[in-house]
Structure 1
């Protein structure tokens, strides 16, 4: 009886909603432009053009929804009509249009990039319809374009929040924005990117993406972080957050100090795309409310100022050849200090507002002067 009850309960067990929903940032589909209609040699009739397959960017839609709307993943436009005695010009086939999220890149199986849709309302023809039959092609309609393409989504946000698991990214995001991420005191609480909006009293808004925790070796397909590194590419500013106490994934892995986590995060970003290290960036040293945090921060101040000397002690396998240039390094307690959260919001806004004001050359120059001045030969500026 006990065995039967256990078996029955196991059958009706349902997965938790956050695991059931999942997060999809890539989708492979089949597209086919409609074939052109045949012409009519006797009267010089021209066949109708085949329909095109068109994608349109739409804010608020997800690739998961695209998949659920058409689980066959086949998008085929209708063929053009052949010319006839009644229709010397054959009617064209109807275009097939469907919506995709903003931030999608369309790539063929051969690796050819067809285009990007970064703004709401952007459209792109992914498969052209065939031409109708006429005198030059023997009055035979041609086939439309037919192939598989991949919809590759990269989140578009002002700020990319990166860090090792349990560094406090989700806690910070919840405190600073309207996002509602899952928070717990164990690694890998975040299993999919979270997008939050930071709001200010004057109605200014900034988007921030919390990416699932990277781990050491993420670029080499370890953990989950490698899957989401691509979402950092379209952010304007990198916000790195580290635990003052360092990080250890499990007893199987070595404990990494706060400085070592900074170095390893730099390395993972560099391995994925070295250009990421040219982005403006901010460093937050979190969990300053924990026991002994103040003393630990005092001890690493000198090493932060001589960070290049610090990383030179390590092997090339984990040492980055280039480091992020942090405009500021700010010790915070994302969980306990509202004052720290206000300071971070102000810093983020200052940098992004200067970057957005492209028309004002003096302000743009000032942004890079500020960053350069905070990265002198002695190291980054501590606040």
Structure 2
């Protein structure tokens, strides 16, 4: 399963894409007019603009070359000594985008509809200071890194029942089956209330031990936890075992491992509000296992448990 999961990581795990590299270039400035002291127009700028229904896949499909060029500034002329500015290029992007430079530095984020980020300046038009020669626009290769924004993020090991839960509480239709790594891409669902309030829920693909060190698809999955407002840990009351070659973990050990993976990936995740859902209570001896788990949660032997509410599915 781990090799299969790594294969999916290389392919972008299905049609869901959360990272795209694009080429952007600001427009060249316009020529100045030495005879009359005319100034060329500034080159256009390249902007990223956050739009609600946009996805990185749509960007990739609509702009397969992933090149975005702003317009050239107008030359100065006798009839227009001040050349017009070149046309700006506005690139629509999804909400939740982090913009990373080719050197790995974060340039900015776009989290709300209408958020704009200037990522390539247009060149200056020719003027007296430049001997009336224009300058070229800024060129950058940037990564658009998507982190899902949701009210609640479902976190758990494979086959814990996260997809089943999402399918029951929302209109989402995730793939469900009784084997590890059923979910290979994040699924988003919305819970609709009679008063028209909505709660967005993200089913984040199952983690494995060592995900914080990027085992399996660790960082691809864990980064989506960062922007969810609240976490819901989904734990199988009967415990968890990834394969015959890995140790069996009780429900209590599963909770400890999940919290550990999140903390090792990003310590700030410890401060995020979290709930605990104990699943598969219809299994034999589930009530006895639950009673034992409650005792362990009340006395975790010095180990921090920050899941504060328990519910049964």
TM-score, structure 1 as length reference: 0.76
User: Which entry has the higher C-alpha Rg, 1 or 2?
Assistant: 1
Aligned to 1:75: 68
Which of 221, 226, 242 in structure 2 is aligned with 1:233?
226
Q: Is 1:287 aligned with 2:268?
A: no
1:37–1:80 Cα contact (<8 Å) kept = yes
The C-alpha deviation readout for 1:335-368, integer Å capped at 9, x for no partner, is: xxxxxxxxxxxxxxxxxxxxxxxxxxxxxxxxxx
Instruction: Please name the residue that 2:146 is paired with.
Output: 153
- 1:160-239 matches, within 5 Å, as 160-239=153-232
Where do residues 314-353 of structure 1 align in structure 2 (5 Å cutoff)? Answer: 323-330=304-311, 332-333=312-313
Q: Cα distance, 1:114 vs. partner?
A: 2.3
1:221 deviates by: 2.0
**1:95 pairs with 2:113:** no
Q: Deviations over 1:236-283 (max 9, x none)?
A: 111101101111111111111111111110111011111101111101
Deviation at 1:199, TM superposition (A): 1.6
Q: Is the 8 Å Cα contact of residues 14 and 184 (structure 2) preserved in structure 1?
A: no
Match of 2:107 in 1: 114
Task: In structure 2, list runs of 5 or more residues that go unmatched.
Answer: 1-10
Shift of residue 163, structure 1, vs aligned partner:
0.3
1:130 alignment counterpart: 123
4+ residue runs over 4 A deviation: 18-21
Within 1, Cα distance between the matches of 2:282 and 2:228?
A: 30
C-alpha distance in structure 2 between counterparts of 1:289 and 1:127, whole Å: 57
1:214 and 1:226 in contact (8 A); partners too: no
- Is the CA contact (8 Å cut-off) linking 1:213 and 1:224 kept in structure 2? no
**d(CA) in 1 for partners of 2:235, 2:307:** 13
Instruction: Tell me the secondary structure at the aligned position of residue 207 of structure 1.
Output: strand
Residues 268-311 of structure 1, C-alpha deviation per residue, up to 9 Å, x if partnerless? 101111110111110111100001101111122211111134x5
Report the counterpart of residue 242 of structure 1 in structure 2: 235
Partner SS, residue 181 of structure 1: coil
Q: 1-side partners of 2:293 and 2:136: how far apart?
A: 66
Residues in 1 aligned to 2:273 and 2:13: alpha-carbon distance in whole angstroms? 36
Structure with the higher helix share, 1 or 2: 1
Where does structure 1 lack aligned partners over 5 or more consecutive residues?
Answer: 1-17, 312-322, 334-383
CA contact (8 A) 2:20 2:144 kept: yes
Residues of 1 paired with 2:150 and 2:40: CA distance? 46
Residues 215, 20 of structure 1: alpha-carbon distance in 2 compared, 3 angstrom cutoff: closer
Aligned-residue Cα RMSD (Å) equals 1.6
CA distance in 2, matches of 1:63, 1:105: 12
Q: Which residue is 2:58 aligned to? A: 65
Aligned match of 1:48 in 36, 41, 50?
Answer: 41
Distance (whole Å) between structure 1 residues aligned to residue 110 and residue 13 of structure 2:
28
Contact 1:179 1:194 in 2 (8 A): yes
Aligned to 2:15: 22
How far did residue 78 of structure 1 move? 1.7
Higher relative contact order (CA 8 A, sep 6+): 2
Change (3 A) 1:324 1:104: farther
Does the CA-based 8 Å contact 1:212-1:225 persist in structure 2? no
Preserved contact between residue 213 and residue 225 of structure 1 (Cα < 8 Å): no
Please state whether the residue corresponding to 1:308 is helix, strand or coil: coil
- 1:343 is matched with none
What secondary structure, in the 3-state scheme, does the structure 1 residue paired with 2:254 have? helix
Q: Which residue number in structure 2 is paired with residue 253 of structure 1?
A: 246
